[in-house]
Amino acid sequence: MEKVEFDTELEISIKNDQNQPIDGAQVAVYNSYANFSTDIVLGSVTGAIQTVNSTGGKAHFDNLQPDISYWIASFYTDVNKIPGARILYNNNEINNELAIKLRKGSISYVDVKMKPQEGVVTFVAPKSENGRLPLTVKFNSSFEGNITKTFDANPPTLIDSTIHALATKGKGYYVINSTGCSWYDVVTVVGGQRTFVKLPPCEAGNIAFYSDDTTATEYPISISLNGQNAAPLTVDKARDAPDCSSPNLYRIEKASGSVTYSARSKSGKCVWVGKVEITTNQCTIVKLPKCR
């Protein structure tokens, strides 16, 4: 009597976090946990033994070997979850390790749910910052762009002059403007959702330097504030009257609080260091002692 080998099959139902079937998801089957765990982090299917795209919320695999463990990874990009953003879904959190042993000649049915792994953070600057535009936005140390418009309320979902950062969950943000005031904090990124970050009004003052007793050959004097280089103090600014109303006074806008400064003459033989308090809407003047 002729021996008949029965096929071993796997049928996977692919659904999103709202329990809706997903078409067009990339579904992969692995017989190696190491390959599965690597791919699900990278969002690839390099190590899979079979891959198909879901149709009608289903992904079907056949010609599988029985009596070994398999793992399933699924990936999908949703362009409708958040307008203007491509949100990545996977099953990294739901049914992450689907180790199943298939029986010879059987069809096994598995439900896989996917979650959005990314969200969008929209940065909004208040109208009080109009004079400080553009604001340079860095998110997770990556440059995102410049904010060029301010709002006193949340803007519509898509406005080109706001910055929308696509990010995985639970990351930080850092915003630096062009005149020295800065914002930094940690924002919670929610998968599949938009989070607004409203920047508070910048509380800033000015620090001004001069050194009218120092010889002209020692200029320019390099300046750093809290370890960051600022524009150098030049001889044409150095002898201006120590009055914040003077139009030619060398001044730097800085967020309120303690500032450690360091100044170094052109030849390097004179170095001035100190610490001052910057007060909101006030000007703090620092006279550098004579250097010859």
Whether 14 has a pLDDT exceeding 90, the answer reads yes
266 CB-near residues (< 8 Å, 6+ apart) = 217, 218, 219, 220, 221
What percent of the chain is predicted at pLDDT more than 90? 40
SS3 39: helix
Check whether residue 35 and residue 66 sit in a common domain: yes
Q: Is residue 267 part of a domain?
A: yes
Distance CA 263, CA 211 (A): 11
Q: Distance between CA atoms of 16 and 111, rounded to whole angstroms? A: 11
Would you give the DSSP letter of residue 26?
A: E
Residue 247 pLDDT exceeds 50: yes
Do residue 174 and residue 112 come from a single domain?
A: no
Asked if residue 292 belongs to a domain, the reply is no
Rounded to whole angstroms, what are the CA distances from 254 to 173, 231, 284? 20, 13, 10
User: Is residue 177 a part of any domain in this protein?
Assistant: yes
Average pLDDT, integer, range 274-292: 88
Which range is least confidently modeled, 43-47, 183-187, 245-249? Answer: 245-249
According to the model, what pLDDT value does residue 50 have? 96
Residues 210 and 277 in one domain: yes
Distances in Å between the Cα of 222 and the Cα atoms of 138, 177, 244 are: 26, 21, 21
Concatenate the DSSP letters of all residues of 198-219 into one string: EPPPP-EEEEEEE-TTS-GGGP
Q: What pLDDT is attached to residue 4? A: 46
15 and 110 both lie in a single domain: yes
What average pLDDT is seen over the chain?
A: 86
Shared-domain flag, residues 269 and 179: no
Does the N-terminal peptide bond of residue 134 adopt cis geometry, omega within 30 degrees of 0?
Answer: yes
On the question of pLDDT at 272 being above 90, the answer is yes
Examine residue 214 and state whether it is found in any structural domain, yes or no. yes
User: What pLDDT digit, counting tens, does each position of 173-209 carry?
Assistant: 777 776 667 788 889 999 999 998 988 888 888 888 9
Stretch 58-78: mean pLDDT: 92
Please check whether residues 176 and 91 belong to one and the same domain.
no
Whether residues 141 and 216 share a domain: the answer is no
**Is the domain of 55 the same as that of 148?**
no
Q: How many CB atoms lie within 10 A of CB 121?
A: 23
Does 1 fall in a domain? no
In the listed set 72, 88, 116, which residue is the last one of a domain according to the structure?
116
Q: Please give the pLDDT value at position 78.
A: 94
The DSSP code for 37 is H
Dihedral of CA 175/176/180/185: which sign? positive
Residues 17 and 99 in one domain: yes
Residue 69 — very low, low, confident or very high, per pLDDT cuts 50/70/90? confident
The predicted structure's pLDDT at residue 177? 72
**Are the C-beta atoms of 292 and 215 separated by less than 8 Å?**
yes
Distance CA 260, CA 252 (A): 13
Instruction: List the structure tokens of 95.
Output: 């049914």
Angle at 173 between CA 168 and CA 153, to 5 degrees: 100
The CATH number for 148's domain is 2.60.40
Q: Tell me which of 94-103, 174-183, 208-217, 256-265 is least confident.
A: 94-103
pLDDT value at position 101?
Answer: 79
- The single-letter code of the amino acid at 91 is N
Specify the number of domains making up the chain. 3
Report pLDDT digits (tens) over 100-148.
778 888 898 999 999 999 999 998 888 888 888 888 888 888 888 888 8
> Does any domain span residue 97?
yes
- Using a 10 angstrom Cβ sphere, with 0-12 exposed, 13-18 middle and 19 or more buried, the burial of residue 106 is middle
Say whether both 168 and 157 belong to one domain. yes
210 and 189 within one domain:
no
Q: What distance in Å separates the CA atoms of residue 98 and residue 91, rounded to the nearest whole number? A: 10
Please check whether residue 2 lies inside any domain of the structure: no
Question: Quick one: 174 and 232 in the same domain?
Answer: no
Last residue of one domain, picked from the residues 181, 198, 215: 198
pLDDT at 98: 62
Residue reference for tokens 């201006």: 240
Mean pLDDT of 155-183: 76
- Cα 69 from Cα 184, distance rounded (Å): 47
Contacts of 130 (CB under 8 A, 6+ apart): 150
Q: Of 171, 198, 225, which residue constitutes the final position of a domain?
A: 198
H helical segments located in the chain: 33-42, 235-238
Measured CA to CA, the distance from residue 165 to residue 205 in angstroms comes to: 30
pLDDT at 100: 73
CATH number of the structural domain spanning residue 59 = 2.60.40.1120
* Structural domain harbouring 243: 204-287
Q: Does 4 fall in a domain?
A: no
Determine phi and psi for 40, rounding to 5 degrees.
Answer: -70, -25
- pLDDT confidence of 94, banded at 50, 70, 90? low
